[in-house]
Structure 1
């Protein structure tokens, strides 16, 4: 079983499960925990091969699928007897949560999808193709630093870049390659995944400077009945780090609304 940690406020409180992206770990949510603990029980997971899950998963398989990774989280929910939970995810973690919504929709009360990935644009496809060409000869940290800089290029994204690079250093080359293989045919995979919209309330929180992923998310949300988009100013891909106070305010307000904790209207993007 993957490594996880809980913060329990009480039986009367609803659960929120945090899912990080590729190369990160549950530590990326350090700016959310204090605020969220006041309102919810919290489940933090380290995806397979990341954080402390490397010590819990035993010998890793040669390849992973998004479904494998999603089922890891479903198993944790079953183990902790969590009947349903709100999810907060960032970057590639948003794909995992949307797969859980397909595999076990009864487990999800609502979804907060930050820096969501719904389609790779041409620049990101070229970047990934280049990575696939050189991944066996170039140290993975060179590639990861390049990806981090391309996705989060501005000076005010420095903290987000540094955080993800620091976490990625805890991966090994083989683990990086396993996760990198998930990018094969990812646009076709996402197109199939997003064809059907689950009847689950979803809030997409995007930075106005997330130029690689924002346009496709705007298009996706415009076609959905149960989704809203909130765009944060002066913010890049990792919105929970770039603008933590505003991210916490918006996301907690949305979840409390879904939990019956009063009305809350997200400002339109």
Structure 2
């Protein structure tokens, strides 16, 4: 693997020509898609990516991650992997902050995005989210980043049934260094301006929002946006919170695969 390409893993299907690309959220890694691989690889070629500074990309791109970066930079990282593998077009499945990257990729290169499945999507930071970000911004140079991350994990995923999700995300976040955490944390300031633009400008790409009905921080803004977008639809998964691909993998796989197959 060349040093300027993110760490990635592929699963080749014996006959399918179509690809599904999985994009994780901040603090996670491609390993958090382990409950999707078995079902998806029966139908498609799979590409799993570790974003810069995350998972096994933590030791790559050292020249890049030594600097501040934007959503644009991180999105271009994904496009570079697609180019490296000669993937002209794909279905994209993303979670949490990864949904912003996929939506941005669709803005930069719409011809490369066949469908989007956006799980636990972030479309706007509400008042509670903004307060959380401000507290984190004020204390990020004082409090160890893992304390902050654990606090965020409990606030975003507070229910008892989300224990596994919290554990997995905290485990993966330990692979980030303090500097990387701060860089990703600063990206949160760009969420609302970027998503305001995305709300006003819908792309004619079939989009499925998969949200847990108990995702109290992010579900309402998605509901509001889907009402205005004719190419988007929302499915709520009962008794489920933010990290729906881990909390309810059977439902997540069933709904998302049916959607992708509908547009294959």
State the TM-score, normalized to the length of structure 2: 0.96
Asked if 1:67 corresponds to 2:34, the answer is no
Contact 2:16 2:44 in 1 (8 A): no
> Any stretches of 5+ residues in structure 2 without a counterpart?
none
The Cα of 1:69 is off from its aligned counterpart by: 0.5
Q: Which residue of 1 aligns with 2:103?
A: 98
Contact 2:16 2:43 in 1 (8 A): no
Asked if 1:206 corresponds to 2:218, the answer is no
Which of 54, 76, 86 pairs up with 1:81?
86
Report the secondary structure of 2:62's partner residue. Answer: coil
The Cα of 1:184 is off from its aligned counterpart by: 1.6
Asked if 1:44 corresponds to 2:48, the answer is yes
Cα distance in structure 2, aligned partners of 1:90 and 1:12: 24
Cα distance in structure 1, aligned partners of 2:165 and 2:69: 26
Cα distance in structure 2, aligned partners of 1:63 and 1:132: 15
Which of 143, 150, 155 pairs up with 1:150?
155
The Cα of 1:44 is off from its aligned counterpart by: 0.3
Q: Which residue of 1 aligns with 2:13?
A: 9
The Cα of 1:171 is off from its aligned counterpart by: 0.4
Cα distance in structure 2, aligned partners of 1:61 and 1:70: 17
TM-superposition CA deviations, 1:94-113 (whole Å, max 9, x none): 00000000000011000000
Q: Which residue of 2 aligns with 1:263?
A: none
The Cα of 1:195 is off from its aligned counterpart by: 1.8
> Any stretches of 5+ residues in structure 1 without a counterpart?
260-269
Asked if 1:20 corresponds to 2:20, the answer is no
Deviates more, 1:105-114 or 1:178-187: 178-187
Provide runs of 4+ in structure 1 moved above 2 Å.
10-13
Which of 234, 242, 247 pairs up with 2:247?
242
Asked if 1:29 corresponds to 2:39, the answer is no
Which of 159, 166, 174 pairs up with 1:169?
174
The Cα of 1:87 is off from its aligned counterpart by: 0.2
Cα distance in structure 2, aligned partners of 1:231 and 1:93: 19
TM-superposition CA deviations, 1:20-60 (whole Å, max 9, x none): 00000000000000110000000000000000112221232
TM-superposition CA deviations, 1:103-139 (whole Å, max 9, x none): 0001100000000000011111000000000000100
RMSD between superposed Cα atoms in Å: 0.9
State the TM-score, normalized to the length of structure 1: 0.95
Contact 2:8 2:48 in 1 (8 A): yes
Cα distance in structure 2, aligned partners of 1:181 and 1:206: 25
